[in-house]
Amino acid sequence: MAYRDLREFLDLLESENQLVRIKEEVMPEPDLSAIGRSAPDVENAPAVLVENIKGYKTPVVLNVHGSWQNHALMLNMPKDTPVKEQFFELEKIWDRYPIKPVWVDKKEAPVKEVVIEDDINLFDVLPLFRINEFDAGFYLSKALIVSKDPNKPESYDEQNAGTYRIQVKGKDKVGIQPLPFHDIAVHLNHAEEKNEPLPIAICLGNDPVLSFMASTPIEYAQSEYDFAGALKGEPIELTKSENGNLDIPARSEIVLEGYIMPREREIEGPFGEFPGSYSGARLQPVVKITKITHRQNPVFENLYLGMPWTEIDYLMALNTSLPLYKQLKRDFPEVEAVNAMYTHGIGTIVSTKSRFGGYGKAVAMRLLSTPHGMPYTKIVIIVDEFVDPFNLEQVMWALTTRVRPDKDVFKVPYAPGMPLDPSSEPAGMHTKLIIDATTPVAPDFARDTELLGVPEKANEWLETIRNLVKEGGNK
């Protein structure tokens, strides 16, 4: 790979004219959020490194994943690679899983260059700002959070490295949102059953492949680190946390270590979320920060969320599409591609060859039973194998020429939903919509309603069997 961490990736982006630097002093608000909102709308949508923020000493980088050009460079492909080619390249390297990490001694890990154990103050280290105007406070929107199941503390594969929103609540306290279907919620539930704190590490400024995998819906017992190694073609470097025996990226810029306090909840939110609207305020767990480690002269990376498309839409596009594709392909080999780029898969388009009549509907139902499709996907469109699901003009052609609303459109009421989708009612419940836009295929056999006759001599044998039962013997 051409890079080992965020710093080296920023160098790569700059060499490809995919990074710009803002050197003049800017205000934390509203400038940083305005920059994050604007960058994806610029041609080629470069990353933006803001070097001088009033009141802070740490620079901020935004929009690292916020274009298909940057996404291609992350995958070690030419920056002008079309998105469909990126999808199939991702599929190819996905199958290199697992490539196990290598562990770096703490003394050699760049993220341990500075260790802060006393007088923890997040405001001294992080250039904090509200991402959207009516957010409840400062949010860390691009953190990789590491946790382990307290019932299986030695299980590497069941360790989780996921992305969850983090609200700064004080100089050494943050809130976290672990939704029930997230892996960290399983770990927290097991810790709270014992009334024990759950150690976590909040890792900021990561290798872009790690950020990519932290927001990818893989299976519970699969390792984000092993997948990141597969995508890079080489092992990820890990080291041990100061607390809790967690495996953390050795080359992160900043790591906040602490504990989710058991059975404590505080109001968290509202927050401008990925569907392009504010979430509500809810009681969520609280994290006590006990240590901070960081590199010399760290770079703080954050992510802007807004009306599509912004960086989060690029980040969660193919890493949502590919796992759904692999899960569907395993059971339905006729599936050609999956486009779940729209709002983290709330809208998903699948192209498939139909093996028999009604096959498209069966594919849709399987999608809605996958770990990610079950809570997230609300609208499913199934198209023929010759329709490119990444080409919306072709998809619209299929919708307008293949769909009969009386037989090809149906609803699944009272199904699981994504509570951050403002259309879910109550929050977390949905009616799913399935549109079968495939060319009709005849069933394997024609309908035949001719009734079967009674075999000859059936009545004679009926009497014989009755007599045998009465006699209790044989004939």
* pLDDT string in tens for the chain (475-residue length): 689 999 999 999 999 999 999 999 999 999 999 999 999 999 999 999 999 999 999 999 999 999 999 999 999 999 999 999 999 999 999 999 999 999 999 899 999 999 999 999 999 999 999 999 999 999 999 999 999 999 998 888 889 999 999 999 999 999 999 877 788 999 999 999 999 999 999 999 999 999 999 988 888 778 999 999 999 999 999 999 998 689 999 999 999 999 999 999 999 999 998 888 898 899 999 999 999 999 999 999 999 998 889 999 999 999 999 999 999 999 999 999 999 999 888 999 999 999 988 999 999 999 999 988 888 899 999 999 999 999 999 999 999 999 999 999 999 999 988 787 888 888 888 899 999 999 998 776 666 677 788 899 999 999 999 999 988 765 5
Residue 412, burial from CB neighbour count under 10 angstroms (0-12, 13-18, 19+): middle
| Per-residue pLDDT at 473 | 62
Q: Which two tokens stand for residue 321?
A: 């599409």
Fold of 6-311: Pnp Oxidase; Chain A (2.30.110)
The DSSP-derived string for 301-317 is E-----SSSSHHHHHTT
Alpha helices in 233-354 (DSSP H): 311-315, 318-331
Domain residue spans of the chain: 6-311, 317-437
| Per-residue pLDDT at 180 | 78
> What are the angstrom distances between the C-alpha of 227 and each of 1, 232, 251?
15, 9, 17
| Per-residue pLDDT at 335 | 97
What is the residue whose two structure tokens read 């001694």? Answer: 105
| Per-residue pLDDT at 179 | 79
**Which is the catalytic residue, given 224, 273, 301, 311?**
273
Which of 237, 211, 235, 270 lies closest to 106 in space, CA to CA?
A: 237
Q: Which two tokens stand for residue 104?
A: 């770096």
How many residues belong to the chain?
475
| Per-residue pLDDT at 244 | 67
Q: Rounded to an integer, what distance in angstroms lies between the CA atom of residue 271 and that of residue 278?
A: 5
Residue 186: CA atoms inside 13 Å, Cβ hemisphere, count?
Answer: 14
| Per-residue pLDDT at 447 | 62
Specify whether 463 is catalytic: no
Q: Which two tokens stand for residue 185?
A: 């919620």
Q: Edge to edge, what strands does the sheet with 19-22 contain? A: 19-22, 47-50, 60-62, 300-301
Main-chain dihedrals φ then ψ at residue 276, nearest 5 degrees: 90, 20
Q: Assess contact for 382 and 361: CB atoms under 8 A.
A: yes
Helix axes 224-232, 83-94, angle to 10 degrees: 110
Q: What is the DSSP letter of 296?
A: S
| Per-residue pLDDT at 1 | 62
| Per-residue pLDDT at 413 | 93
Q: Rounded to an integer, what distance in angstroms lies between the CA atom of residue 138 and that of residue 58?
A: 16
Pick the CATH number of 317-437 from 3.40.30.160, 3.40.1670.10, 3.40.190.10, 3.40.50.300: 3.40.1670.10
